[in-house]
A and B are shown apart, each in its own frame.
Chain A
Amino acid sequence: MRYAMAVDTRKCVGCSDCVVACQTENNVPIGFCRDWIVEVTNGTYPQLEMELRSERCNQCVNAPCVRCCPTGASHIVDGGIVLVTHNECIGCGACMASCPYDARYPHPDGYVDKCTFCIHRIKNGLSPACVAVCPTKCLYFGDLHDPNSEVSVVLKKRKSKTLIPEAGTDPQLYFLI
């Protein structure tokens, strides 16, 4: 099993609903977030193009945050999801420094927090909160090892890219272009 997410940049309107849904679902304190929106504009008026995309932890196969965690709090579970065991985390920030995607934040309660792909939901057969809420349905989630999963199907059909592939992290967050 290998969980992955694909984000359709053609459909994303950058509304940040994924961010609010994640915050309420996971009780992320106000002022912090596990996912966010990036807007990139290229060109000169009126020859312009713009990409909007919802970003979060890339759930890397080769995760630098896990490698550098001194206590083993950051670890990878079945399906390739990178998790932080809160009571083993000492908040040292090594994982934050090593993450090329800036995907982690220091929780005010003293540990480092990040996207879990809503593991508590997917274990119950639900999709992650961001996927479930997205009004444009631009987020696709599922098991890459299952050729019929939503994410496998859409990645087969469409061209995609990953972020900072040169970091060698083998990210599992794909962007459909």
Chain B
Amino acid sequence: MTSRRDFIRITAMGAGVLVAGTAAYKVIKSLSSPEEVKKLVVDLKRTPTYCEVCFWKCAGWVYKTSEGKIWKIIGNDEDPNCNGRFCPRGTGGVGMYYDESRLKTPLIRVEERGKQVFREASWDEALELVSVKMKEVSAKYGPESMALFTHGSGSAYLSTLLKAFGSANIAEPSYAQCRGPRDEAFTATFGEEVYSPEITDIRDTKCLVLIGSHIGENMHNGQVQEMSDAIDKGATIITVDPRFSTAAAKSKFWLPIKPSTDMALLLSWIHEIIYNDFYDKKYVEKYCSGFDKLKEHVKDFTPEWAYGITTINPELIRKAAKEMADASPAVIVHPGRHVTWYGDDTQRIRAVAILNALLGSWGRRGGFYRPAKFELASYPIPAFKAPAKTWLDAFPGKYPIASLPVSNALIDASIPENKPEYQIKGWIVNGTNLISTIPNTANTLKAIQNLDLIVAIDTMPMEITGWADVVLPECTYLERYDALRAGPHRKPSLALRMPATEPLNDTRSDYWIARELSKKLGLVSYFPFEKQEDLLDWQLKKAGTSLDEMQKIGVKIFEREADDLYFAENEDVEFFTDSGKIELYSAYFEGAGFDPLPRYVAHDEPADGYYRLIYGRAPMHTFSRTANNPNLTDLMDENSVWINPKVAKEWGLKTDQYIWLKNQDNVMSDFQVKVRVTERIRWDSVYIVHGFGHAQKQMQRCFGRGVSDTQMITKVLVDPLMGGTGMRSNFVTFVTEKTEQEVVS
């Protein structure tokens, strides 16, 4: 075997240029005397926050210098989500505040001889325009023709506004573009989802099985920390990934699977566990239903059968199954997070859920714990009127098991050619850059052409703000209060975010925006507190604390009401499924016209010269929203395309060479991407990190850097169960010279 060695110094150092001579020389006092240090520490003012760079919402402290300048953000030791340690994105959150490309003032689109430009506006003028247009949409088509796309903390108040307005069309791309299939699959099986942060008891697990889930690269903070604890305690990690991920490098077993064949592997694992009597008999007998049907269903799915599909050695499949069984019930077959891959994702995660049920991990130490959440009092507001129509009525019968609005369905309902029962005519887009978030950008742009109103609320001039009629600049999370964080965990907790400093420029918080808009729409009764501080204080007092106390402590932990983190020995448990049991066989899916047991269906394969496009995360970036952050861009300023050396040799490609990608539908990447020749990727696939290739010039730092995976994803396999957009069925080839007109918007 020839040995190859990739050596990469990930962080770039200053370009080795010496600053010589005394002209540039400035005397800087080194901070080394203890007296000075003490002064620095004491002078600091710290305010509590919880992070908004990703959805993990770690609580921390914002430290300022004595001049009041934001200096650094560190974790709050009491916080169960972060245990006092932020991830690089959270630590780099300061960059969000200092990013000079930020939106600064409200903008209104000006139509100027076919050229779309914006003019600056006052808040009053901008909000007045939004309210007039919203009223027009409502009068012409009904209030349900307004839709909200939202993500993050702003959702709380903008959702209230939209519901008060009369629309339930509030979609988060985190559902149909990310975790929806998993939530539906686990709900169908266990009667409960896996929540966020996930209720995976990684801290105490003996065996963690990751299927395409690259913990460590996706810096889901608490999970990364617990995986590290588990490694310390000698837990086994099993990773299934066509790419040699960071987690794969820390695994006892890495299964280098042929992409799109995970279902075959899962079925063969189920087969192994049942037919070797590896399953938890007592648990299955007591808690599960449909075992006999499952056993019959997987009869022929042997590891040898799976080998032919997955290319994974049957012995490796067997060894991994034995490892899981030996660890049972302290085993986690991880549900994953961004699981929208091949359009049969709900069924694939059903197989994951079934596997967990057979191993008896749900409700057990080292498996999945029972979460506890603090229930905040809701402040008195008028009841929302039931909307005349919801998103479900736009396309009756579609996505029958979707429990939340599907963002792509709302976009489809904005296009008249799709013949929706009623059309969406106005969008409010908050913190979701739909151009980079929703695959098939052409479809999104088509929808945009048919709208009467688009309002973009964001901190940055993202691609979507370029398409908006009105742009409302939010302040960053470091400059505002927000709804209290009360997510689930082992113990109930509350976390406060408060402004560390005054908002920069003419930016405002979502609460302020929603309330001001509610005044113009005659809906202010839904926002009874003029100041958000009063609302928070009211809620906190009901919770037995106060705004004053929370400003000092940031995070408050409450005790669990009962000692029920795990099932007690022989506990009778009623699951929230129709049968009250863990449903191995899903009568619910069957009733909706779908397979009650998951089955393997082969997916398309790349043509000669094309490679499957796999995308994922780098630890220092999240979604597509951090690419311009000065601190995080400093760590990684563009993505690269990972290519196996065999493939690179065939094409004559070298590391650091720039190329274009072209997909199976002849879509050429707007920008060039750097080649990274590495053994860490299979020869039938290429890999890029999501969130680069921004085409918005106003984002000075990231404009034109790297390639946008979303742009390359034109073939989308929509999950018929819940509308999830399968995004791993696109194939790309390499273009070293571009002959077409360069597309630079």
B38/A87 in contact, CB under 8 A: no
Per the bound structure, the CA–CA distance linking A132 and B2 in Å amounts to: 40
B17/A36 in contact, CB under 8 A: no
Among the stretches A19-27, A59-67, A167-175, the one at the interface with B is A19-27
| A120-B19 contact given A30-B634, A39-B8, A42-B3, CB 8 Å threshold | no
A46's contact among B5, B41, B232, B244, by CB below 8 Å, is which?
Answer: B244
| A17-B29 contact given A32-B13, A48-B680, CB 8 Å threshold | no
Among the stretches B118-126, B220-228, B359-367, the one at the interface with A is B220-228
B244/A13 in contact, CB under 8 A: no
Closest to B71 in A: A24
User: Is B644 at the interface (CB under 8 A from chain A)?
Assistant: yes
Question: B17, B40, B619, B644: which has the most chain A beta carbons within 10 Å?
Answer: B619
Per the bound structure, the CA–CA distance linking A133 and B14 in Å amounts to: 23
B631/A134 in contact, CB under 8 A: no
Which of chain B's residues have a CB closer than 8 A to the CB of A137?
85, 225, 228-229
Per the bound structure, the CA–CA distance linking A120 and B30 in Å amounts to: 10
B9/A36 in contact, CB under 8 A: yes
Closest-CB distance, B410 to chain A (whole angstroms): 35
Closest to B9 in A: A38
Which B444-490 residues sit within 8 Å CB-CB of chain A? none
Among the stretches B87-95, B293-301, B585-593, the one at the interface with A is B87-95
A13/B85 in contact, CB under 8 A: no
Closest to A17 in B: B88
| A15-B219 contact given A41-B678, A87-B29, A108-B19, CB 8 Å threshold | yes
Number of interface residues of B (CB under 8 A): 81
Which of chain A's residues have a CB closer than 8 A to the CB of B5?
40-42
Which of chain A's residues have a CB closer than 8 A to the CB of B229?
137
Closest to B13 in A: A105
User: Is B256 at the interface (CB under 8 A from chain A)?
Assistant: yes
Closest-CB distance, A105 to chain B (whole angstroms): 4
B244/A16 in contact, CB under 8 A: no
B87/A37 in contact, CB under 8 A: no
Per the bound structure, the CA–CA distance linking A48 and B6 in Å amounts to: 11
Per the bound structure, the CA–CA distance linking A129 and B19 in Å amounts to: 27
A86/B13 in contact, CB under 8 A: no
User: Is B176 at the interface (CB under 8 A from chain A)?
Assistant: no
User: Is A91 at the interface (CB under 8 A from chain B)?
Assistant: yes
| A86-B29 contact given A39-B8, A45-B679, CB 8 Å threshold | yes
User: Is B32 at the interface (CB under 8 A from chain A)?
Assistant: yes
Per the bound structure, the CA–CA distance linking A50 and B683 in Å amounts to: 19
User: Is B50 at the interface (CB under 8 A from chain A)?
Assistant: no
User: Is A100 at the interface (CB under 8 A from chain B)?
Assistant: no
Per the bound structure, the CA–CA distance linking A105 and B41 in Å amounts to: 26
Closest-CB distance, B114 to chain A (whole angstroms): 39
A43/B4 in contact, CB under 8 A: yes
Closest 5 pairs (CB-CB, A-B): A13-B216, A15-B619, A36-B11, A110-B25, A136-B228
A: residues with CB less than 8 A from B are 10-11, 13-17, 19-21, 23-25, 30-33, 35-52, 77, 83-87, 90-93, 96, 102, 105-111, 119-121, 123-124, 132-138
B: residues with CB less than 8 A from A are 1-14, 16-22, 24-32, 34, 36-38, 40-41, 71-75, 82, 84-88, 91-92, 94, 216-217, 219, 221, 224-225, 227-229, 231-232, 244, 246, 249-250, 254, 256, 619-620, 630-632, 634-635, 644, 678-683
Could you give 28 example pairs across A and B, Cβ below 8 Å? A13-B216, A15-B87, A15-B224, A17-B219, A17-B619, A20-B91, A20-B620, A20-B635, A21-B72, A21-B91, A31-B634, A38-B7, A39-B7, A40-B5, A40-B7, A41-B680, A44-B2, A84-B30, A105-B13, A105-B14, A106-B14, A108-B19, A109-B26, A120-B32, A135-B85, A135-B86, A136-B227, A137-B228
